[in-house]
């Protein structure tokens, strides 16, 4: 329909030019002289200290290439929407860091400007605070979104969405706000604020309208031979022509739009100088597509790139290996250890070969031969002994032990994260007991370090005279000096436990909070402080997190935090005696993109693990279904495993499927272990990204035994004893800690 409209318009203009030259000339002059008209600045007021947000100007005659002037300076990345009636651009956080008034104006490419509007930046009223529960939608979805605003007190004023009063419905704990589909047509960071009748305002939350990810339907060529010449590449799919780039092996190629909106680029000859598999993606609006693979083979005969999986466990039922390669026709045959093997399925780039269930432990070979007798090189897979899974501590029933008890008596209420500390103890965030527990790995004695079983926010020496309390602790890490660092879901801060002999002191280490001085509120919330969820890089007490999750400490003392609600990875460092928080990767907006760390995107990063040398940080990117790697030296982000589609659960990194990975642990040989929230399985990723299942098999149960037979129930955190070859699992919904003997 769009093309018909365009063609019709061209025809009308052409006829006008032939038959009505005077009208055409008049129209052209009129269009040139039309100045942009500003009807409304949205929002008109915003809170000082808000992170980068999208400003919206409503009006008309915003021409293609128009910009938004903020205090007379053009903003980056302006864009036009709704047929020239909406102008959008991002206002960076530095421009609204303090109260004041700013001018706002539209300017067209010909220099014509609109009337001047204003944006007022106000300080937050300390008695007004909101929290957005669910903060993103996909652009152009055609839906009305109903996120919930959590309020301290209902009925204090109006909820403003992009400066306009929203339709709200009261729900338990807050109000549900309506974000109409007309506001989610374009990528944006929409400000949401509470304003009372006196004009005082709360903090400003942001609702992200996330760009739709592009999709690849087909590539031409779909396979290549080894060579040195450049090769043209054509890609078809679902994308925005003109604003989409072809990315090959993480290199962005110069991209043009060809016939029928087909994307065109050139693959450099250096990319195909040896057998390999080219990874092709599309990138638009900072979001990347899933992978398409173009194999590069040395001949037209059969060729093997890799096997999936590389490892089979003793006792697997109907075991098979996928041979991934190229040039497989229907007449090829397969051999395993030199003997004919049954082919279960075959396509041009993948063959499934049956393996003898009684195959011995050790290496085995696979080879493919075509009808002319041309054989591939042999590829090697392993049959390995299965692991053993047992319940280490916990009864399997929810409960809480304030005093030390034996492992058989210990009770938990949803243990979330776990770490093996330098002192040899396991430290566990007992999330819904709001406590930190310890387990002696030799005696299994289980004790409570911090927490009373009650939720709250009280540091040591608080005004209530109460023992320290936590609120839904998420992550835990222990430094070499015994200091314990804790991230909190409920308070969105990082807490610290300091030790002096047998006494401990709990304080707030980083994050934004405010003091609670009202006696009634102190009693109701069991808190003398209230955490503030936001996103801000600054000194440790001016910085802000949103639902921080896992936390790890690098050999150089840097502390890394998976800031799940801000879709980023944060870092706490000390310089000249002062601590500060910065962002290592991600930008606060959910999505998926590899590349330079400052441009990379995550979607709810949760689990973290460091390489042994501290140069690489691995991230469980939960809602992207991937494990990512941050090169801390070169500041680059890449995908280790996950993102595959179809039925390939185990396999090479980019083709394997991970179902909401949430916990990570790294072994001596570079192997990563991953817990999956989506399947309740434990996966294994080798140093090349090859992914296999270590333990579990679906089914939300508590069952010990071999890895094949064992079952978990939404496992979360992982901790590894590298010397003993033991992996510990926080089995969240089974209320226990499990133990997997790896070797």
Contact of 56 with 42, CB cutoff 8 Å: yes
Picking from 176, 209, 242, the residue at the C-terminal end of a domain is 209
Percent of the chain having pLDDT more than 90? 75
Picking from 261, 277, 297, the residue at the C-terminal end of a domain is 297
Residues with Cβ within 8 Å of 447's Cβ and at least 6 positions away in sequence, in order, are: 403, 404, 405, 437, 438
What tokens were used for 673? 């272990």
> Are residues 489 and 521 part of one domain?
yes
Check residue 473 and give its pLDDT. Answer: 98
Instruction: Answer whether residue 368 is part of any domain.
Output: yes
User: What CATH code is carried by the domain that includes residue 356?
Assistant: 2.60.40.10
Average of pLDDT values for 382-393? Answer: 97
> pLDDT averaged over the chain?
90
What tokens were used for 688? 């090349």
Picking from 255, 280, 297, the residue at the C-terminal end of a domain is 297
Instruction: Answer whether residue 374 is part of any domain.
Output: yes
Residues with Cβ within 8 Å of 469's Cβ and at least 6 positions away in sequence, in order, are: 434, 451, 452, 454, 455, 456, 457, 458, 526, 527
Check residue 77 and give its pLDDT. Answer: 86
Could you tell me the pLDDT band of residue 138, with boundaries at 50, 70 and 90?
Answer: low
Contact of 519 with 510, CB cutoff 8 Å: no
> Are residues 264 and 159 part of one domain?
no
Give the predicted TM-score (pTM) of the model.
0.84
Check residue 483 and give its pLDDT. Answer: 97
Assign 3-state DSSP to the chain and report helix, strand, coil percentages, each to 5: 10, 50, 45
Could you tell me the pLDDT band of residue 8, with boundaries at 50, 70 and 90?
Answer: very low
Check residue 643 and give its pLDDT. Answer: 86
Check residue 23 and give its pLDDT. Answer: 37
Contact of 67 with 106, CB cutoff 8 Å: yes
Q: Does the pLDDT value for residue 299 go beyond 80?
A: no
Top-confidence residue, 172 or 687: 687
Pick from 641, 661, 659, 656: nearest CA to 308: 656
Domains held by the chain: number: 4
* DSSP code for 13: H
> Are residues 394 and 376 part of one domain?
no
Angle at 261 between CA 260 and CA 267, to 5 degrees: 110
Q: Partners of 57 in the beta sheet?
A: 41, 87
Q: Measured between alpha carbons, how far is 410 from 389 in angstroms, rounded to an integer?
A: 19
Task: Answer positive or negative: Cα dihedral of 267, 270, 272, 278.
Answer: negative
> Are residues 313 and 293 part of one domain?
no
The DSSP code sequence of 435-455 is EEEEEETTT--EEEEE--SSB
Q: Partners of 281 in the beta sheet?
A: 247
Residue written as token pair 């700013």: 102
> Are residues 278 and 197 part of one domain?
no
> Are residues 699 and 578 part of one domain?
yes
User: What CATH code is carried by the domain that includes residue 560?
Assistant: 2.120.10.30
Cα diameter, the chain: 96
Instruction: Answer whether residue 338 is part of any domain.
Output: yes
Among left, alpha and beta (phi > 0; psi -120 to 50; other), residue 444 is left
Mean pLDDT check: name the lowest of 29-33, 223-227, 232-236.
29-33
> Are residues 489 and 379 part of one domain?
no
The DSSP code sequence of 553-609 is E-TTS-EEEEEGGGTEEEEEEEETTEEEEEEEE--SS---B-EETTT-B-SSEEEEE
Peptide bond into 309 cis (omega under 30): yes
Residues with Cβ within 8 Å of 567's Cβ and at least 6 positions away in sequence, in order, are: 586, 587, 588, 589, 590, 591, 601, 602, 603, 604, 605
Average of pLDDT values for 328-340? Answer: 96
Average of pLDDT values for 236-264? Answer: 95
Ordered strands of the 79-81 beta sheet: 37-42, 53-60, 86-91, 79-81
Instruction: Answer whether residue 474 is part of any domain.
Output: yes
Instruction: Answer whether residue 443 is part of any domain.
Output: yes
Average of pLDDT values for 593-618? Answer: 94
Check residue 157 and give its pLDDT. Answer: 84
Pairing of strands 691-695, 503-510: unpaired
Could you tell me the pLDDT band of residue 501, with boundaries at 50, 70 and 90?
Answer: confident
Check residue 403 and give its pLDDT. Answer: 96
What tokens were used for 382? 């392993």
Top-confidence residue, 293 or 147: 293
> Are residues 269 and 346 part of one domain?
no
Average of pLDDT values for 124-140? Answer: 74
Q: Does the pLDDT value for residue 12 go beyond 60?
A: no
> Are residues 472 and 424 part of one domain?
yes
Domain region containing 160: 37-209
Pick from 536, 459, 552, 541: nearest CA to 505: 459
Instruction: Answer whether residue 559 is part of any domain.
Output: yes
Check residue 18 and give its pLDDT. Answer: 31
Top-confidence residue, 297 or 46: 46
Instruction: Answer whether residue 638 is part of any domain.
Output: yes
Average of pLDDT values for 390-401? Answer: 98
Could you tell me the pLDDT band of residue 153, with boundaries at 50, 70 and 90?
Answer: low
Instruction: Answer whether residue 19 is part of any domain.
Output: no
Mean pLDDT check: name the lowest of 143-147, 393-397, 449-453.
143-147
Number of Cβ within a 10 Å radius of residue 269: 12
Average of pLDDT values for 361-380? Answer: 96
Could you tell me the pLDDT band of residue 526, with boundaries at 50, 70 and 90?
Answer: very high
DSSP H/E element including 551: strand 548-553
Check residue 5 and give its pLDDT. Answer: 32
Pick from 405, 404, 410: nearest CA to 392: 410
> Are residues 448 and 327 part of one domain?
no
| pLDDT tens profile 39-54 | 999 999 999 989 899 9
> Are residues 417 and 452 part of one domain?
yes
Contact of 371 with 364, CB cutoff 8 Å: no
Task: Answer positive or negative: Cα dihedral of 29, 31, 32, 38.
Answer: positive
| pLDDT tens profile 350-363 | 999 999 999 999 99
Check residue 24 and give its pLDDT. Answer: 37
Q: Does the pLDDT value for residue 669 go beyond 50?
A: yes
Give, in order, the Cα–Cα distances in Å from 616 to each of 96, 559, 634: 35, 13, 10
Check residue 25 and give its pLDDT. Answer: 37
> Are residues 376 and 397 part of one domain?
no
Check residue 175 and give its pLDDT. Answer: 81
| pLDDT tens profile 704-728 | 999 999 999 999 999 999 999 999 9
Residues with Cβ within 8 Å of 514's Cβ and at least 6 positions away in sequence, in order, are: 126, 529, 530, 532
């Amino acid at each position: 329909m769009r093309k018909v409209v365009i063609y019709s318009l061209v025809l009308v203009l052409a006829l006008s030019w032939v038959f009505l030259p005077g009208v055409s000339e008049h129209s052209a002059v009129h269009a040139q002289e039309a100045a942009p008209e500003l009807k409304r600045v949205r929002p008109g007021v915003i809170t000082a200290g808000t992170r980068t947000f999208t400003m919206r100007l409503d009006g008309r005659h915003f021409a293609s290439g128009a910009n938004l002037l903020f205090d007379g300076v053009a903003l980056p990345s302006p864009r036009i929407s709704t047929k020239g009636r909406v102008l959008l651009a991002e206002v960076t956080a530095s421009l609204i860091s303090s109260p004041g008034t700013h001018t706002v104006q539209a300017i067209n490419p010909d220099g014509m400007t609109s009337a001047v509007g204003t944006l007022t930046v106000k300080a937050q009223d300390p008695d007004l605070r909101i929290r957005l529960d669910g903060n993103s939608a996909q652009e152009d979805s055609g839906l009305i979104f109903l996120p919930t605003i959590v309020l301290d007190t209902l009925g204090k004023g109006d909820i403003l969405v992009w400066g306009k009063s929203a339709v709200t419905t009261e729900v338990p704990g807050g109000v549900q706000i309506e974000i109409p589909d007309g506001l989610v047509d374009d990528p944006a960071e929409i400000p949401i604020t509470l304003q009372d009748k006196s004009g005082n305002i709360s903090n400003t939350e942001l609702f992200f309208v996330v760009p739709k990810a592009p999709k690849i339907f087909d590539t031409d060529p779909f396979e290549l031979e080894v060579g040195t010449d450049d090769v043209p590449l054509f890609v078809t799919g679902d994308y925005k022509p003109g604003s989409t780039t072809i990315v090959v092996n993480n290199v962005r190629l110069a991209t043009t739009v060809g016939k029928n909106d087909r994307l065109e680029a050139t693959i450099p000859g250096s990319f195909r100088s040896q057998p390999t598999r080219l990874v092709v993606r599309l990138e638009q609006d900072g979001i990347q597509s899933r992978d398409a693979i173009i194999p590069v083979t040395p001949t037209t005969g059969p060729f093997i790139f890799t096997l999936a999986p590389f490892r089979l466990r003793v006792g697997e039922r109907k075991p098979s290996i996928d041979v991934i390669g190229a040039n497989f026709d229907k007449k090829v045959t397969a051999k395993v250890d030199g003997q004919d093997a049954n082919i279960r399925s075959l396509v041009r780039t993948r063959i499934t070969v049956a393996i003898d269930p009684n195959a011995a432990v050790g290496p085995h070979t696979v080879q493919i031969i075509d009808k002319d007798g041309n054989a591939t090189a042999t590829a090697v897979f392993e049959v390995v002994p299965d692991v053993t899974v047992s319940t280490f501590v916990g009864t399997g029933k929810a409960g809480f032990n304030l005093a030390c008890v034996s492992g058989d008596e210990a009770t938990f209420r949803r243990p979330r994260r776990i770490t093996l500390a330098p002192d040899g103890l396991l430290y566990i965030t007992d999330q819904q007991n709001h406590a930190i527990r310890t387990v002696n790995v030799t005696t299994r004695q289980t004790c409570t370090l911090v927490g009373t079983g009650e939720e709250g926010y009280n540091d040591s020496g608080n005004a209530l005279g109460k023992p320290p309390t936590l609120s839904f602790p998420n992550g835990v890490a222990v430094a070499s000096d015994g200091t314990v660092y804790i991230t909190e879901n409920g308070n969105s801060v990082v807490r610290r436990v300091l030790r002096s002999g047998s006494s401990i002191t709990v304080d707030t280490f980083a994050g934004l909070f405010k003091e609670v001085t009202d006696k009634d509120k102190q009693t109701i919330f069991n808190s003398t402080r209230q955490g503030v969820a936001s996103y801000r890089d600054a000194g440790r007490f001016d910085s802000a997190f949103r639902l921080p999750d896992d936390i790890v400490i690098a050999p150089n003392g840097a502390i890394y935090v998976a800031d799940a609600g801000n879709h980023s990875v944060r870092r706490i460092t000390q310089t000249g005696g002062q601590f500060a928080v910065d962002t290592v990767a991600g930008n606060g907006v959910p999505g998926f993109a590899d590349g330079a760390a400052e441009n990379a995107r995550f979607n709810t990063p949760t689990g973290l693990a460091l390489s042994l040398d501290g140069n690489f940080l691995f991230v469980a990117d939960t809602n992207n279904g991937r494990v990512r790697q941050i090169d801390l030296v070169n500041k680059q982000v890449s995908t280790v495993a996950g993102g595959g589609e179809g039925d390939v659960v185990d396999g090479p990194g980019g083709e394997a499927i991970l179902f909401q990975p949430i916990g990570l642990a790294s072994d001596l040989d570079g192997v990563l272990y991953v817990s999956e929230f989506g399947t309740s399985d434990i996966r294994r990723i080798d140093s090349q990204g090859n992914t296999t299942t270590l333990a579990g098999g679906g089914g939300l149960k508590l069952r010990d035994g071999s890895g094949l037979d064992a079952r978990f129930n939404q496992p979360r955190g992982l901790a590894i004893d590298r010397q003993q070859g033991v992996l510990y699992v926080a089995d969240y919904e089974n209320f226990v800690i499990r133990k997997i003997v790896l070797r």
